[in-house]
């Protein structure tokens, strides 16, 4: 049958691969133990590439995966082949996580997402990168465990819109919260050690972040140390200025008592 190739697995069993050539591009469509199903893959792909069918026309009974459906329609409409379910728009692109969840990205991110497949697990979006899971939010300055609306927000209210102009980082450092009801705003520093400890209020975000770092350094010397506590990376200050602020910060007596009590253990 046209578009179908018979082959064998390592165990010797037979299966059939389906493929199609369009605009001089050879596209693998998938495989099946059934020659008839493999031919249906080819026929469906041909219908897509030479018709006005849209992404919204996809039916769950299709022999093609939804991802392949998107790939073929994008190639047909835009002349660019991606292995991931991407559809190009004029100034941005759509990434179809599935039929119901469609993510929006700036074209600046096209190369990355054409090479890295987005996955979802436990409500979190991530990409595999050299064997590690990279949170989607981390590409946009959203730190791990950040809370939406408190630490960051999607300006237009659409949390599937990852275009840079739509993401506002409110609190970029761990343990730091901007107090916007004060004018000018101030920054609260705090850390959780069995309960929440306030580390003071500071005029700048960097000062509050350094207070948190100092608290983490002190905890690392006690039995309360945790590998999960990673100091804030602050690249907006020269090393000398960072050291001056670090030395000048006096952490609250309640926190220092906790440290001293556990240093004695």
Give one DSSP letter per residue of 98-144, joined into a string.
SSS-EEEEEGGGHHHHHHS-EEEETTEEEEEETTEEEETGGGGT--T
- pLDDT confidence tier of residue 228, bands split at 50, 70 and 90: low
Would residue 147 count as lying in a domain?
A: yes
pLDDT band at 146 (very low <50, low <70, confident <90, very high): confident
| Residue 250 falls inside a structural domain | yes
Residue 37 lies in a domain: yes
Residues 67 and 91 in one domain: no
CB-based burial label for 180 (10 Å; 0-12, 13-18, 19+) = exposed
Same-domain status, 253 and 185: yes
Q: Six-digit token pair at 105?
A: 């990205």
Instruction: Kindly state whether residues 165 and 226 are assigned to the same domain.
Output: no
Do residues 254 and 182 share a domain?
A: yes
- Does any domain span residue 52? yes
Q: Tell whether 102 is covered by a domain.
A: no
Residue 208 is assigned to a structural domain of this protein:
yes
Residue 103 falls inside a structural domain: no
Q: List Cβ neighbours of 187 (8 Å cut-off, separation of 6 or more).
A: 176, 177, 178, 179, 201, 202, 203, 204, 205, 207, 208
- C-beta separation of 18 from 32 below 8 A: yes
Domain boundary among 147, 170, 193: 170
pLDDT at 216: 94
Q: Count how many domains the chain has.
A: 3
Give the domain range for residue 235: 176-263
Q: Determine the pLDDT at residue 230.
A: 84
Q: Label residue 227 by pLDDT band (50, 70, 90).
A: low
Contact 203, 240 (CB under 8 A): no
Tell me how far apart the alpha carbons of residues 172 and 201 are, in angstroms, rounded to a whole number. Answer: 16
Whether the predicted pLDDT of 130 surpasses 80: no
> Is the per-residue pLDDT at 131 higher than 80?
no
Asked if the model's pLDDT at residue 77 lies above 90, the reply is yes
Would you call 242 helix, strand, or coil by DSSP? helix
- Mean pLDDT of the 72-86 span: 97
d(CA 45, CA 40): 8
**Alpha carbon distance 94, 107 (integer Å):** 10
Establish if 101 belongs to a structural domain: no
């Amino acid at each position: 049958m046209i578009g179908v190739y018979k082959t064998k697995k390592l165990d010797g069993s037979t299966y059939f691969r389906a493929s199609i050539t369009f605009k001089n591009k050879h596209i693998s469509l998938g495989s099946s133990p059934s020659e008839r199903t493999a031919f249906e893959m080819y026929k469906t792909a041909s219908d897509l590439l030479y018709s006005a069918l849209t992404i919204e026309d996809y039916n769950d009974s299709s022999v093609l995966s939804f991802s392949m459906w998107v790939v073929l329609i994008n190639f047909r409409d835009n002349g660019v082949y991606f292995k991931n379910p991407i559809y190009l728009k004029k100034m941005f692109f759509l990434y179809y996580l599935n039929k119901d969840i469609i993510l929006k990205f700036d074209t600046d991110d096209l190369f990355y997402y054409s090479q890295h497949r987005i996955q979802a697990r436990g409500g979190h979006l991530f990409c595999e990168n050299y064997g590690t899971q990279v949170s989607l939010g981390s590409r946009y300055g959203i730190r791990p465990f950040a809370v939406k609306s408190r630490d960051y927000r999607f300006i237009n209210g659409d949390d599937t819109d990852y275009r840079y102009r739509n993401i506002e980082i409110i609190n970029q450092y761990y343990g730091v919260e901007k107090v916007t009801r004060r004018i000018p705003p101030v920054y609260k520093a705090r850390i959780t050690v069995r309960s929440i400890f306030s580390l003071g209020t500071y005029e700048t975000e960097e000062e509050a972040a350094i207070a948190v770092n100092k608290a983490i350094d002190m905890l690392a010397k006690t039995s309360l140390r945790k590998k999960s506590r990673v100091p804030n990376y602050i690249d907006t200050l020269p090393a000398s200025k960072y050291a001056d602020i670090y030395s000048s910060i006096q952490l609250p007596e309640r926190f220092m008592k906790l440290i001293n009590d556990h240093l004695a253990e």
